[in-house]
Structure 1
């Protein structure tokens, strides 16, 4: 594996919350999320947007790129921890295909502060 893919991230997958009547909600139970580590990825800064209005907030994005031929079990509802930051998956996971197989995976991640 090349040095380009020397980062690691931890996937957090949280179960859905069950209400007091036993029905699943659309809320996630993040304190009980299952952690899975992925090594051998490349994470780079993507962009940053600052909005000023009622309050100032900054949205910072990163892009995870996986090595050729490797798929990752990551969903748009997961969170990823990288360099001490908990990041939300932004949109669908991009699985680039070649000859009917996954060539590589790219995941855009964001962190909103403020």
Structure 2
């Protein structure tokens, strides 16, 4: 019953400027990949930064069920409940005892 949430993975397009610098574009050029059957939970609490402007950073953790691999990269973003979250660090793919992937875990960060 835990894996009832749906997300959208936003895979950025690589855009090269006239100076041959590559930047990641999360706008209209990005690929959107809908995913059903995952679990996203709060993790690590929230922190506020009020030095320059009011910013709240909230940690989240994404889990997949047993046997579900997820094509998620550290450069991707995740949309859930109208909130955009960044993938923080490497995506953990836990190995299964007979081979393959047992489940996937990823740390996410929402900056509002």
Return the TM-score normalized by structure 1: 0.88
C-alpha distance in 1 between matches for 2:72 and 2:96 = 20
C-alpha distance in 2 between matches for 1:24 and 1:104 = 36
C-alpha distance in 1 between matches for 2:52 and 2:25 = 29
Counterpart of 1:93 (choices 69, 72, 91) is: 91
Q: Is the 8 A contact 1:16 1:24 kept in 2?
A: no
In the alignment, structure 1 segments of 5+ residues that lack a partner are none
Stretches of 4+ moved more than 4 A in 1? none
**Count of paired positions:** 109
Q: Give the equivalent residue in structure 2 for 1:37.
A: 34
Aligned CA-pair RMSD: 1.3
Q: Is the 8 A contact 1:65 1:105 kept in 2?
A: yes
Q: Give the equivalent residue in structure 2 for 1:107.
A: 106
Structure with greater helix percent: 1
Aligned-partner SS, 1:73: coil
Return the TM-score normalized by structure 2: 0.89
In the alignment, structure 2 segments of 5+ residues that lack a partner are none
